[in-house]
Structure formats: structure tokens, C-alpha cells
Structure 1
Amino acid sequence: MMIRYPNGKLYAPAQKEIPKPEIKQRKKDISFSNRGKTLEDEINETNAFYLQRNIANIHKKPVPIQIVKVEYPSRSAAVIREAYFRTPSTTDYNGVWNGYYLDFEAKETQNKTSFPLNNIHAHQVEHMKAVLLQKGIAFFIIRFAVLDRYFITPLTVIEEAWQLMTSGGRKSIPLKVFEAHAVEIKAGYQPRIDYLQAVKKFIANV
């Protein structure tokens, strides 16, 4: 299916790198049943856990798409061949927890030493700044897939790196910055990615 942005530019989803198989066999752990799942899958499972237990009400935002070309290869099937995003996407998830409005973006990288900033768009940063202005909580969940490490990252960390990039600085954020300024959480079983524990720390430090 062909999808275009509102300005007509062709949408090209990021190509995921396939990690090389490990020769050394690792001991079985709680992550075994989650192999092959994306960060989005893990967050969706976590959100379902929160919702079922009345902890929080957080969902993935739907992306509005305008369909412009449909083909009907058979009477019982329709295939979308071309579509446009009606508006630029903002962030992946939003919702409420304990009276707080949460708005966040989820990103993952195969890079072991840094996070490429080309994974983030300017309008997403601006949207999250507007959320903070209204006393909401905005952050990123960054996963270093090969390392299996998760960092709940305040917008301020991403924004500072973004400003440096636009003024000619480096185009990625080193892993050591996340280690120093983000909250690292360990993947668990239920919930899989308990990011609310990091949100509690953000609130405590305000």
C-alpha cells in the first residue's frame, strides 16, 4: 500500500535491522516468550495490564488516513493501493494516570552506542512541549534492542539534543546520556514495561 504525507511526500517506514543470531546460548529467562515482539507490542500489553487493573487508561493514538485508491481483486475483498496521512502524526500514546495526563512516543534502535535523532520529527517535539505547557507529562520510551535496555526519557533530554543537532551538532544521543539523565527500567512479566514507575520519579523530582 502506498501512503503519502499531507504535503504529498511518499511515506517510507523505517527499515528494521535484523540482529545477528547469538552463537552462545543464553539461559532461559522471562523475556523468552517476548522474543520477536516489537516495543509497540510490549507497550500495548503493558497498557492492557494497566487498564484491566484500573491503574491507568492509556492507548495508542489512531492515525487518520485518507484513502485515495482502492482495488477490488474479488467481490469479497478490497485492497488499499494508495492513501495519505490527513495530518502529521504527533506521538504514539496518550491517556491518564492518577489525575495526570501522559503523552509519549516509543522508539527503538539496533544501534548499541547511540540513538539516531532522525527517528524523531520536529512537530513531535513541538507537540510534546505544548503538553508540558499545559502541565501534562511528556516523555519518550527508548529501547536499545540489541542491548535489551529500556530508558524512560524526559522530553528535556531529547529537546536539548535536538537543538544541538539543528545548530550543527551531532545527530544522535550517546547511550551514556540516557544512562545519566533517563530512568532505566528492566523488562518484566506483568506488566512487561512498567513505565509508570519512571513517571512517578519524574513527578517526585518536579
Structure 2
Amino acid sequence: MTFNYPNGKAYNGNEKKESPKKKTSEKNKQTINYGKRGMNLEDHLNRSNQFYLENKVAVIHKKPTPIQVVKVDYPKRSAAVIKEAYYRHSSTTDFNGVYKGFYLDFEAKETKNKSSFPLKNFHEHQIQHMLHVQNQHGIVFVIIQFTTLNRVFLLEYEHLRIFWENQDHAGGRKSIPLPYIEEHSFELRYEFNPPLDYLKAVDLLLLHTQNENL
């Protein structure tokens, strides 16, 4: 798995040591690609979260999407049958849980775009929810996948917020350019089990945050 600091440099844990990116370059070349086997990003995350739970690594779950019931029939007094319903927009984010005593809250999104990630994939209430979590010192991020490129990134919420708030200003963009994401995020690689070990990136994110606070 390859990780980059938000400044674009490879994380090495100690500036005097050889960069892990160089040490693991051959290993990364041998990484099996499991990203194109009929599952979407959410499926991979669900499987990864199940692995974390079974191995007592973390407790992270996908939140169910709220359903608006429109019509209900009562064929029996003791039973009700939903005849018509529709999915509502999620009021918060896709996933949340606990890892190493930290509260994690994140959204997962996909795009077929090759050069940027459209901001229209997010909703205002999701951005506000993530801000509230950040204000309570939770760990907030988004996992975004460029499906055509088969590349996945973990991007801190703060970078998303900057583009979100500037999109309606003069010169503001309606998307986050891929080069910006490459420079300021942690790129993930599909593996076997867990299929998407994003908590390795969270570890580096936590370490980076702690170093900034020193």
C-alpha cells in the first residue's frame, strides 16, 4: 500500500531513515488488484469493516439509508406490508465507528471522471455534519474512487471543505482536480483481506496530526 503525506512527500517515520516508499516499491508491484471483481467501493469497505470487527481491530459500520414509507397495507391486524417507499438522502455520512479510541466518520464516493472529482457528489447537509464532527475532534475524511482509473484515495475533510466553500466564489471550481488529490491525500491499494485496508492510512493521518500539534 502506498501512502503520501498531504504535502506530497512519502511518509518515512524518520527523516534520517530510508523512505518506506522505496523499500516497498517492489512489494507494491506485486500487489494483486482486487478492484475489478464486480464489487463497488461500498462493498469493499463493508468487507474490510467486517474483517476489522472479526479481528478486533475496529468497530465501524455503514449507516442505513433512511426510507420514507408512502403506502402501507394491513392484511392482518398483527402484520403490516409496505407497498410503496423510497430512499431519502442520507442525513449524515456513510460510515462511522471507533478505532484506537478515536471516533471516525467518513463518506465514500465514486466517479467515472478521469481528471477531477465533482463536488455535486456531496450534499450540503453532509458537509455540515462532517464539520460538526471535526469541531468535536473526531477524525473526518472521505474515501473517493476514480472507477475508470481504478484508483482510491483517502482525503481529509478539511481539503474537501476548502473546495466546497470556494465553489461559488469567483474562480472557484465545481470539482477537486486529480493532481490536488494526488498531492494532499493518501492513496489506497486493493489487497486480499481486508480488500481495502484504509486504517493504515488513518494511522498515518493520526501520526501526521499529532506531529503538527507538537
TM tier relative to shorter chain: 0.7 to 0.9
User: SS of 2:167's equivalent?
Assistant: helix
Contact 2:65/2:87 (<8 A) preserved = no
1:90 aligns with 2:92: yes
Q: Give 2:102's aligned residue.
A: 100
2:156 alignment partner in structure 1 = 154
User: If the length of structure 2 is used for normalisation, what is the TM-score?
Assistant: 0.75
* Map of 1:202 onto structure 2: 205
Aligned to 1:31, what secondary structure does the other structure show?
A: coil
Change (3 A) 1:88 1:82: same
Q: Is the 8 A contact 1:105 1:141 kept in 2?
A: yes
* 2:175 alignment partner AA: S
2: distance between equivalents of 1:109 and 1:161? 17
Query: Structure 1 runs of 4+ off > 3 angstroms?
Result: 29-34, 77-80, 82-85
Aligned to 2:196: 193
For these two proteins, the number of residue pairs brought into alignment is 175
Cα deviation, residue 34, structure 1: 4.9
Aligned-residue offset at 1:192: 0.8
Asked which structure has the greater RCO (Cα within 8 Å, sep 6+), the reply is 2
Whether the aligned pair in 1 keeps the contact of 2:34 and 2:195 (CA below 8 Å) is no
Shift of 1:80: 3.5
Q: Which one of the candidate residues 184, 187, 192 is aligned to 1:184?
A: 187
**Alignment-derived partner of residue 64 in structure 2:** 62
TM-superposed deviation, 1:41: 0.3
Q: Is the 8 A contact 2:94 2:106 kept in 1?
A: yes
Secondary structure in 2 aligned to 1:112?
coil
Q: What residue is the counterpart of 1:124 in the other structure?
A: 126
Contact 1:187–1:193, Cα closer than 8 Å, also in 2? yes
Instruction: Output the amino acid matched with 1:204.
Output: L
> Is residue 67–residue 85 contact of structure 2 (8 Å, CA) maintained in 1?
no
- SS class of match (2:194): coil
